Amino acid sequence: GQSLEQPSEVTAVEGAIVQINCTYQTSGFYGLSWYQQHDGGAPTFLSYNALDGLEETGRFSSFLSRSDSYGYLLLQELQMKDSASYFCAVRNTGGFKTIFGAGTRLFVKA
Amino acid sequence: DTGVSQNPRHKITKRGQNVTFRCDPISEHNRLYWYRQTLGQGPEFLTYFQNEAQLEKSRLLSDRFSAERPKGSFSTLEIQRTEQGDSAMYLCASSPLGGAQETQYFGPGTRLLVL
């Protein structure tokens, strides 16, 4: 089967750095994606790792290790507006179905 | 760039009624996806279109659900004989052919409440 596991909640203070982990089980996949979703809003694409290593986009970075079936999203210089749910997602090779994790709810405190 | 649009944004219906939702993807996007999302969960894949062809459909999708994309542009999702368990947010996403399928652009969703 295919599954992704993420922590359900993370709390951090404004200005800090937070890491949201994602472990996955899948027979083969193209890469790991991350999406952000604010309450009442639509998911918004953040990043995609097709290869092992770190991808950086502004304050957000994402990491993938295929050998460990593990990835993470790193948010730096946290702002109150970063309070949202964050989802990791994979798409298996040979198909079009994208599987999302249950999401990590990030609370940023002043 | 008008983004992905979905209509209606909200729908309240009685159990047993049929409902239809519409999705208009970003104009140059050939790929279109439908998802369902319930509170506290990630989007759950329902079906995928490449142009007008429906190339994948979730095995979790009962035969009460049907989707179309007749001209390869907008898509409709119909739920027949709705049940209370169908209450959820129905999301549509699109992505361009040639880009990574993982880069999906989501619409605002249609929130369905079945009474």
Q: What are the angstrom distances between the C-alpha of A34 and each of B38, B55, B99?
A: 19, 24, 16
The answer to whether B92 and B32 are in contact (CB under 8 A) is: yes
* The pLDDT value given to residue A48: 92
Q: Are strands B10-13 and B19-24 parallel, antiparallel or unpaired?
A: unpaired
Q: Would you call A102 and B41 a contact, using CB atoms and an 8 Å cutoff?
A: yes
- Give tens-digit pLDDT for A5-42: 999 999 999 999 999 999 998 877 888 999 999 999 99
> What stretches of chain B adopt beta strand conformation (E)?
5-7, 10-13, 19-24, 31-37, 44-50, 53-57, 65-68, 75-79, 88-95, 105-106, 110-114
List, in sequence order, every residue forming a beta bridge with B76; answer none if it has no partner.
Answer: B22, B68
- Among residues B105, B110, B53, which one has the least CA distance to residue B78? B110
pLDDT, tens only, B48-81: 999 999 999 998 778 999 999 998 899 999 999 9
pLDDT value of residue A64: 96
Contact B56 A43 (CB under 8 A): no
Closest residue to A30, CB basis, from B33, B43, B102: B102
- Of B55, B103, B108, Cβ closest to residue A45: B103
Nearest alpha-carbon partner for A87 in B48, B97, B29, B104: B104
Residues A56-93 pLDDT 10s: 989 999 999 999 999 999 999 999 999 999 999 998 77
Q: Which residues pair with A29 in a beta bridge?
A: A92
Q: Which residues of A touch B43 (CB under 8 A)?
A: 43, 87, 98, 100
**Which phi and psi (to 5°) does residue B31 adopt?**
-95, 135
